[in-house]
Structure 1
Amino acid sequence: MGDEVKLFGMWASAFSRRVELALKLKGIQYEYIEEDLSNKSDLLLKNNPVHKKVPVLVHNGNSIAESLVILEYIDETWKVNPILPQDPYARAMARFWGRFIDEKVIGTLHRAIIFEGKEQEENIKEVHKELKLLENEVKGKDFFGGDTIGYVDIVAQVVAFWVELLQEIGGLELLTKDKFSFLYEWIGKLQNIEAVNECRPPREKHLEYIRALVENAKSGSK
């Protein structure tokens, strides 16, 4: 009897999509369960009683929550096509940049879109600083991990594909080709990977979803 793998996710969630991508890159068979986050299922709440959100990976009855934790679990459980480096230092640095994206970049992007006036200007400047730090990590390489897609690339999909939509909605210059040419080259290489494209939400549907989120967040911040 083989492994039973289930993934509770949501189609527009960058965090869900990164777990799907890791599973696809490793060739792991899994059952995907789409969640309505406005009406969460009893199964989701049972499998993630602490945070009550997606993604949740259930492997042979054991549930794992939080996308960065799930990515490491997947890599340690299925050794084929490793996504984290084998070298301890490189592995630590990959974890560092994954946390940097989740704990710094995503929050700054959110504030840059939601706030207005001087606060928005300050957050846009901070976005540019953070993206430049990321760009320096991928400069001279095909991917953050080297020649092949890895952990940081999977986490950084939110920068590659979600920021473009935020720019369009907010009319802001967050990630432009002239300022971040190496990140743009990296995004182009990601777009050549079949599994990456399979995990990207439909653009127009995704754009409308994010637009509604931004409008609700803006109205809530006033």
Structure 2
Amino acid sequence: MGEEVLLFGVWASPFSCRVEIALKLKGVQYKYLEEDLDNKSPLLLKYNPIHGKVPILVHNGKPILESDVILEYIDETWPGYPILPKDPHERAIARFWAKFIDDKCTPALRKACWGGENGREKAVEEASELLKFIEEELKEKRFFGGESIGLVDIIANVIGFWLGVFEEGSGVELLTRDKFPKLCNWVDEYVSSSIIKENLPPRDKLVPFLRNRFGSANASK
């Protein structure tokens, strides 16, 4: 097709990782450009002057911003592997849970693990309550998308991989098999998938990186 697909990302970002997974599932060829958010490139600021954040997908010179928007764009633009369900009601449900994870769960998990000792017990309790909703939605399915990885699974990579890194780096325990057996089984299935496994950052590098980043931020408060 002669099309150009660029992805601006950060190796440690679950949001960048989502987009890479979607592109790989679709079989789309792309060029990855690693960004330093402490020293943002002129191209990043050109394509996302509003927020200056990653990920940014650039398709034939046209930028698409925000990981959830990018995932839907990828699904609508390239045929093949379905990321969202075809049924309108199921698509709406998937969008709801994707938004729930991004707007509610991700900030709560980060706060529970990296929010500091003050108020940690309450933060852990609140995060656990949110994880219960995710556990119940999974039901008896292999993936949130059924028998294959879909939108909610990709969005939930923050639970499937990054939460374990948060826990290891902070010493907080949230996702235990006795409390969340279905979610733990899903995590095992998710990270065992070859597409997922091949696109996750190295854990031994990510743990100290996040400990330094978030731990230092809390120490300075």
Q: CA deviation at 1:217?
A: 2.2
- CA distance, structure 1, for counterparts of residue 37 and residue 212 of structure 2: 15
Paired residue for 2:13? 13
SS of 2:216's equivalent in the other structure is: helix
Q: Does 1:134 align with 2:134?
A: yes
TM score, norm. by length of structure 1? 0.96
Q: Does 1:25 align with 2:20?
A: no
The aligned amino acid for 2:120 is: Q
Q: CA deviation at 1:118?
A: 5.9
The aligned amino acid for 2:139 is: K
Paired residue for 2:159? 159
1:127-146 CA-partner distances (Å, limit 9, x unpaired): 11111110111120010011
Paired residue for 1:192? 192
Contact 1:113 1:214 in 2 (8 A): no
- CA distance, structure 1, for counterparts of residue 20 and residue 117 of structure 2: 38
Contact 2:160 2:191 in 1 (8 A): no
Contact 2:5 2:30 in 1 (8 A): yes
| Aligned-pair Cα RMSD in Å | 1.2
SS of 2:32's equivalent in the other structure is: strand
Q: CA deviation at 1:4?
A: 0.9
In the TM superposition, structure 1's runs of 4+ consecutive aligned residues that sit over 3 Å from their partners are 114-118
Identity value in percent:
53
Structure 2 gaps, min length 5? none
Contact 2:110 2:166 in 1 (8 A): no
- CA distance, structure 1, for counterparts of residue 132 and residue 118 of structure 2: 21
SS of 2:29's equivalent in the other structure is: coil
Structure 1 gaps, min length 5? none
Q: Does 1:49 align with 2:70?
A: no
- CA distance, structure 2, for counterparts of residue 116 and residue 160 of structure 1: 23
Contact 1:75 1:84 in 2 (8 A): yes
Q: CA deviation at 1:157?
A: 0.7
Paired residue for 1:177? 177
With over 3 angstroms needed to count, the CA separation of the structure-2 counterparts of 1:34 and 1:182, relative to structure 1, is: same
Paired residue for 2:209? 209
Q: CA deviation at 1:216?
A: 2.3
Q: CA deviation at 1:63?
A: 0.2
1:124-181 CA-partner distances (Å, limit 9, x unpaired): 1111111111011112001001110000000001101111111112221211111111
With over 3 angstroms needed to count, the CA separation of the structure-2 counterparts of 1:116 and 1:31, relative to structure 1, is: closer
Paired residue for 2:34? 34
Q: CA deviation at 1:117?
A: 4.7
Paired residue for 1:79? 79
TM score, norm. by length of structure 2? 0.96
- CA distance, structure 1, for counterparts of residue 51 and residue 118 of structure 2: 33
The aligned amino acid for 1:57 is: L
1:180-218 CA-partner distances (Å, limit 9, x unpaired): 110111111112211101110001100111101121220
Paired residue for 2:94? 94
